[in-house]
A and B are shown apart, each in its own frame.
Chain A
Amino acid sequence: QSALTQPASVSGSPGQSITISCTGTRDDIGTYNFVSWYQQYPGKAPTIIIYEVDKRPSGVSTRFSGSKSGNTASLTISGLQAEDEADYHCCSYGGGSALVFGGGTRLTVL
Chain B
Amino acid sequence: QVQLQESGPGLVKPSQTLSLTCSVSGDSISSGNYYWSWVRQPAGKGLEWIGRTYISGSTNYNPSLRGRVSMSLNTSKSQFSLKLTSVTAADTAIYYCATITMLGGVPYYFDNWGQGTLVTVSS
Distance A47 CA – B110 CA, assembled complex (angstroms) = 8
Does A30 touch B at the CB level, under 8 Å? no
Does A110 touch B at the CB level, under 8 Å? no
Interface residues on A, range: 20 to 34
Inter-chain contact A45/B48, CB cutoff 8 Å: no
Residues of B within 8 A of A91 (CB): 47, 49, 109-110
Distance A104 CA – B60 CA, assembled complex (angstroms) = 23
Inter-chain contact B116/A45, CB cutoff 8 Å: yes
Mask, A14-40, CB within 8 Å of B = 1, is: 000000000000000000001010100
Q: How many residues of B are counted as interface, with CB atoms below 8 angstroms from the partner's CB atoms?
A: 24
Mask, A32-75, CB within 8 Å of B = 1, is: 00101010000011111001100001000000000000000000
Residues of A within 8 A of B114 (CB): 45
Inter-chain contact A48/B47, CB cutoff 8 Å: no
Mask, B112-123, CB within 8 Å of A = 1, is: 011110000000
Distance A98 CA – B50 CA, assembled complex (angstroms) = 10
Given A1-B63, A3-B46, A97-B60, A47 and B109 contact (CB-CB distance below 8 Å):
no
Residues of A within 8 A of B64 (CB): 1
Given A34-B108, A45-B114, A45-B116, A98 and B60 contact (CB-CB distance below 8 Å):
yes
Inter-chain contact A102/B46, CB cutoff 8 Å: yes
Does B111 touch A at the CB level, under 8 Å? yes
Residues of A within 8 A of B115 (CB): 44-45
Does B15 touch A at the CB level, under 8 Å? no
B49, closest chain A residue (CB):
A99
In B16-63, the 8 Å CB interface with A consists of 39, 45-49, 52, 60, 62-63
Chain B residues with a Cβ under 8 A of chain A: 39, 45-49, 52, 60, 62-64, 96, 100, 103, 106-111, 113-116
Beyond the given pairs A45-B115, A98-B49, A103-B46, 4 more chain A to chain B contacts, judged by CB atoms under 8 angstroms and listed by A's residue number, are A46-B47, A46-B96, A48-B109, A52-B108
